[in-house]
Amino acid sequence: MQPNLNIVPFVSVDNMMKLVLSIGVEAFLTGLAAYVEDDFRRWESFDKTPRVASHSAEGVIELMPTSDGVAYGFKYVNGHPRNTRDGRQTVTAFGVLADVSNGYPLLLTEMTILTALRTAATSAVAGRHLAAKGARCMAIIGNGAQAEFQALAFKALMGIDRLRLYDIDRTASEKCVRNLKGLGFDIHVAASAEDAVEGADIVTTVTADKQYATILTDNMVGAGVHINAVGGDCPGKTELHADILRRAQIFVEYPPQTRIEGEIQQLPADYPVRELWRVIAGLDAGRADPAEITLFDSVGFATEDFSALRFVRDRLHGTQFYEDLDLLADPDEPRDLFGMLLRAAA
Cβ contacts of residue 168 below 8 Å, gap of 6+?
none
**In Å, how far from its chain's centre is CA 12?**
19
Choosing from 233, 284, 314, 330, the catalytic residue is 233
Tell me the chain's radius of gyration from C-alpha atoms: 21
C-beta of residue 60 within 8 angstroms of C-beta of residue 79: yes
Residue among 146, 144, 133 nearest 292 (CA): 133
**In Å, how far from its chain's centre is CA 286?**
21
Cβ contacts of residue 39 below 8 Å, gap of 6+?
46, 68, 303, 304, 306, 307, 310
Question: Is 233 among the catalytic positions?
Answer: yes
Q: Report CA torsion sign: 115, 120, 122, 123.
A: positive
C-beta of residue 109 within 8 angstroms of C-beta of residue 312: yes
C-beta of residue 163 within 8 angstroms of C-beta of residue 184: no
Q: Which residues are catalytic?
A: 233
